[in-house]
Amino acid sequence: MKIIMLGAPGAGKGTQAKMISEKYGIPHISTGDIFRANIKEGTELGKEAKSYMDAGKLVPDELTVRILLDRVAKEDCRDGYVLDGFPRTIPQAEVLDEELKKKGDQVDRAINVDVPDENIVGRMSGRRACLKCGATYHIEHLPPKKEGICDACGSELVLRDDDKPETVKKRLSVYHEQTQPLIEYYEGKQILCTVDGTKDAREVFAAIERNL
């Protein structure tokens, strides 16, 4: 089962991807993680990607797909995988489809975790992070025992720049312009399933299970 996760930043698609991965025993593949792994290991693909990043350029779609296909060719992906963070645009989706088709393969399901913008701004601006140990909290849904202090290491919690309302609104604007068209793209291929991401994570997952 080859699954693509769609949804705005902060919609909770990463959480759902992990739950799908655990339930069905298929790897959760985040493109950010693959890039970091290739660069850290000094692979040829990693070196090529790093040369673009060091120059402050975007990694071309063709190279991103090559790095992704290298990952999904590994033994643990034999029964499928969940892609999180790719594709982000229709051209990326088309390149991915073409390359999978060459291997006699295809995407089976695209899952859209749908959450209104105002909910996302509220969710993300409530996040607090510990820069020392990486633990994350939410002032409403997962507060620390002591306000502003990390339970794990006692360091101060901060609102990251990425989670500030003005940054979130900018990210949502980019999402609507570049990534949202993928919903129609996969709908046209009759493999899209949309779930209400405003509900509790377990309820969202139950809806995904019914669709799978």
Residues 6 or more apart whose Cβ sits within 8 Å of residue 166:
none
Report the Cα–Cα distance between both ends of the chain, in Å, rounded. 9
Residue 128 is a catalytic residue: no
Residue 66 is a catalytic residue: no
User: Residue 165 is inside which H or E element, if any?
Assistant: helix 165-174
Catalytic residue among 18, 50, 66, 88: 88
pLDDT at 184: 95
Residue 171 is a catalytic residue: yes
Catalytic residue among 50, 66, 171, 199: 171
**Residue 62 banded pLDDT, cuts 50, 70, 90:** confident
Judged by phi (left if over 0) then psi (alpha if -120 to 50, else beta), residue 144 lies in beta
pLDDT in tens, 78-113: 999 999 989 989 999 999 999 899 989 999 999 999
Residue 202 is a catalytic residue: no
Catalytic residue among 71, 109, 127, 128: 127
| 34: nearest Cα among 70, 80, 1, 82 | 70
Based on C-alpha coordinates, what's the Rg of the chain?
A: 18
User: Residue 139 is inside which H or E element, if any?
Assistant: none
Handedness of CA 55, 92, 17, 74 (dihedral sign): negative
Domains of the chain: 2-114+166-211 (3.40.50.300)
Catalytic residue among 160, 169, 170, 189: 160
Residue 160 is a catalytic residue: yes
Mean per-residue pLDDT for 161-189?
A: 92
